Amino acid sequence: MKYEIERKFLVDMSKVPFPDSQVLIHQGYLFNTDDGVLRVRMETNQWLLKSWLTYKSKYDGKKCLEYEYEIPIDDARDLIKQCPKIISKHRWTLQHGKHTWIIDTFNNNSLSIAEIELSYVDEKFARPKWVTEEVTGDPHYFNSNIAKRL
C-alpha cells in the first residue's frame, strides 16, 4: 500500500517568489465517490506533455491511499473526454527549507492552494510566509470537489 500524507494551505499570492517555469494541468474525474476518486491528468509545459491515471482513497484526516501510473497521452485524451467536469490549473514548484511545496492556481485565478507532502504524519516542516489558513482535510478544497464547482 502507498499512502499520501499531505497538508494543504491557502496562499497569499502577493508574497510568493514565483519560479520561472510552470506547468499547465488539465484534470478530470472518471468517478468521484465518498470512498475515493479515479482521475486522469495531463500536464504540459513548454517542452513536455505527460499524463497519469490516479486512484485516491477517502482521506481519513491524516492520509489516503494513492496509486498513480503514467499512461500514454492518447489514452489520457480519450479518458478525459469521459469526465463530466475538467479542471485546469497552473502549477509551480518551490523549495522551502527541506521540503518541496506545490502551488496550484485554479481556472480563473480565484483560488490558490499550496501543498506539501510529508514522509510521516507528525513530520515537522518550515512554513513559508506566503501560506495562510490551513485547509488540510476540508472537503471544500479537495480537487475533486473543486471540479464539481467550476
pLDDT single digits (tens) 17-76:
877 678 999 999 999 888 999 999 999 987 779 999 999 998 877 788 999 999 999 999
Task: Judge whether 29 counts as a catalytic residue.
Answer: yes
Average pLDDT over residues 97-103: 94
Q: What's the pLDDT band for 1 if we cut at 50, 70, 90?
A: low
Decide: helix, strand or coil at residue 140: helix
Tell me if 130 sits within 8 A of 12, measured CB to CB: yes
Q: How far apart are CA 29 and CA 148, in angstroms?
A: 10
Q: Which CATH architecture has domain 3-149?
A: Beta Barrel (2.40)
Structure pTM?
A: 0.87
Q: Where are the domains of the chain?
A: 3-149
Residue 77 pLDDT > 80: yes
Tell me how far the alpha carbon of residue 123 is from its chain's centroid.
20
pLDDT, tens only, 104-117:
999 767 899 999 99
3, 29, 67, 141: the catalytic one is 29
Q: Which residues contact 14 (CB under 8 A, 6 or more apart)?
A: none
